[in-house]
Amino acid sequence: MQLVRPSTVHLPSYVDALERGWSADNVRGAAAAAEELARIRADASAFLASLDHLGGQGAPVTLPDGSVVPRLPGFRRWMWDGEFAGSIGFRWQPGTTALPPYCLGHIGYAVVPWKQRLGYATAALRLMLNEVRAVAALPYVEITTDPENTASQRVIMAAGGVLHERFVEPASFGSQPGLRYRVPLPTAEHER
């Protein structure tokens, strides 16, 4: 499995995953998938370009409660093993580790159900940490998960994540309990 920059070569397999009911948005699910399919059908090139917005340009983000907030700088990569296997994204505020209250973590990921339990999320997170280090001067990233999502907790801890806090998600996300992990970014020495 490798991380790829989303492109027209990969798009048909991504569309297939959306049409099969998968969505990278684990809160808005089917609604988010339908929105992405509509955007792809309207202008596939614009959709692909919107996945790389290092300056924060692009359409605002719709939260689970329907509120709309400004887009942060960020980018998405797709997990690829000959076909689409999942998505991982990074967002941040330049110059600080802090995120606005409507953004729960720096990195989010989702593997399609038919490729889960193959180690793809763990591999993708490790690869993404190296990409993050190249674009953002951060000592760590924060990743959140639900207390009952032990699979995601294992992925985060395998990448060196340490539980930072238990918290309650903002009302826009349903005021549910959450766990926030901090994962240190690898240094250049780790690549040798």
In the block, tokens 């992990």 appear at 181
pLDDT of 188 = 61
pTM for this prediction:
0.90
Which tens digits make up the pLDDT trace of 133-180?
A: 988 889 999 999 999 999 999 999 999 999 999 999 988 778 899 999
pLDDT of 191 = 47
How far apart, in Å, are the Cα atoms of 58 and each of 52, 53, 114, 171, 188? Answer: 9, 7, 31, 25, 32
Residue in 132, 128, 189, 188 with CA at minimum distance from that of residue 159: 128
Question: What percentage of the chain reaches a pLDDT higher than 70?
Answer: 97
pLDDT of 164 = 97
Q: What is the chain's pLDDT, residue by residue, as a tens digit (192 residues)? A: 999 999 999 999 999 999 999 998 877 788 889 999 999 999 999 999 989 987 767 778 777 778 888 888 999 999 999 999 999 999 999 889 999 988 899 999 999 999 999 999 999 999 999 999 988 889 999 999 999 999 999 999 999 999 999 999 988 778 899 999 999 998 765 444
